[in-house]
Amino acid sequence: MNSEDLINLTALEIASGIKAKKFSVPEVAGSYIEEIEKTDKHFNAFLAVAKENAVKRASEIQARIDKGEDISPLAGVPIAVKDNISTEGLETTCASKMLKGYKPVFNAAIIEKLESAGLIIIGKNNMDEFSMGSSGENSAFGVVRNPWNDSRTAGGSSGGSAAAVAIGETPLAIGTDTGGSIRLPCSFCGVTGIKPTYGTVSRYGIAAYASSLDQAGPIAQNIEDCAALLSVISEKPFEYNNALTSNADLKGVKIGLPANFFSYSETAEDVKEKVLTAAKELEAAGAVLEEFEMPLMDYIIPAYCIIGFAEASSNLAKYDGLRFGYRSPNAKTLSEVYRLSRSEGLGMEVKRKIMFGSFVLSADQYDTYYRKAQQVRTLFIDEYKKLFNRFNMILSPVAPTTAYELGKNSGDEQNDQPWNKYLSDIFTASVNLAGLPAAALPCGFDKQGLPIGFQLIGSAFSEKKIIDVGRIYQGLTNHHKLKPKSASYVPLPNLRFEVCEKKNGESS
């Protein structure tokens, strides 16, 4: 099988082909590395590629498979991980100048699980710096470009992970979701992703943005691959098959539609139409649809920002130029080390969040802002509990719009209304505040040919129900099978692309 055919297979199809000896693990790894080297100078979805280590690991896994070892259903499949996940010996920068050159001495728990399951880690994906952003534009190493239209954002903060899957540079990726950072780029790039229940996947070794909101999860072409990968990283069994099927029905499944999400002033007509069409597909399969008003909608973004930014200001305090990270060469005194290193090493969006978070945690403002936001968070948890007494799950758009133009909501210091860029999370952030699971699935395209996604939100630890409904939907439709047309892969200025060796740290 040639490389072009290989990279069009799903992850489970790749694993099945390896077991059937249709192709080898080294062939698969080589095909994806070749695709990254060919295309990524344009899209900038990767910050580092573990080329030599991936080739070595592929040979080791192939030898184990040849001996008859039953490693896992995804053994031999390549995977990319977001660059905020610690990888031993492989540069982990969080897309920040502050951590450029940093090579961890340990693996995150999620990496240990992936390697134990025989997956081949091929590299680290670009992202918004320290996961702070919704567009993939806040990276210190260049923007991530949308595979469907390279003048558009790929979404964020896991934009590199979603774009890499959409392009065909990797069949699987791991992203993290703080307020929608898996679901939003999946929607913008036309791929599938799951934000698990808070605590389902270990956060050990993942650089924290907001510790009480962050959650790692899978990104893939379809819900079956996501389910298989979630089984690995959560160590909880989920059913999955090589082929999606629509044989099952949804009789007795009651799905709520938040009417105020659809009537929200910024919700584009194309988004509303395609998401409601997806709901009708599920209704035709037997589900019962009912509209309701999402409670406290006006407080989603304020509560999310106050809590998220406050935790960010605390979590990022350690990046001070002393213990590790960037240290300004211009610093002459201790005070200058702190001030200049953080000023030069951190981007504008990160600094904005740190300052905002420090303000709401200050003695004078703590009760006014942070305590109130936590009280509102409790109200969200209570309201979702009530909703799930009425509904089995909730269906809504992932974002009010499709991928917007690069630079439109960059939120740099010239932006008169930096608050506007946070509104892209208005349909997703309450899920993180309540610690609930949600899946994003592609459901069509707007008039400009840009992907549209919808999300299924469930009660805590109801991932299986969400996966089952997603499986039925994708068995009825083919949106998840569509891929962007080939682009002209022209290297762009100021983009960083380096090939790194994982174990010995040498660049090649």
Catalytic residues: 82, 157, 181
Q: What is the DSSP annotation of 218-268?
A: EEESSHHHHHHHHHHHH-------SS----S--TT-EEEEEHHHHS-TT--
Could you give phi then psi for residue 29, rounded to 5 degrees? -60, -45
Residue 507: DSSP 8-state: B
| Three-state DSSP string of 360-424 | HHCCCCHHHHHHHHHHHHHHHHHHHHHHHHHCCEEEEECCCCCCCECCCCCCCCCCCCHHHHHHH
The pairing of strands 78-82 and 120-125 is parallel
CB 392 within 8 A of CB 465: yes
The structure tokens listed for 296 are 């406290």
Give the pairing type, strands 254-258 and 393-397. parallel
CA 39 to chain centre: 20
Q: What angle do CA 15, 17, 19 make, to 5 degrees?
A: 70
CA 136 to centroid of chain Cα atoms: 11
Place of tokens 């969200």: 380
CB 456 within 8 A of CB 393: yes
CA angle 376, 378, 381 (to 5 degrees): 115
Cis peptide upstream of residue 181 (ω within 30 degrees of 0): no
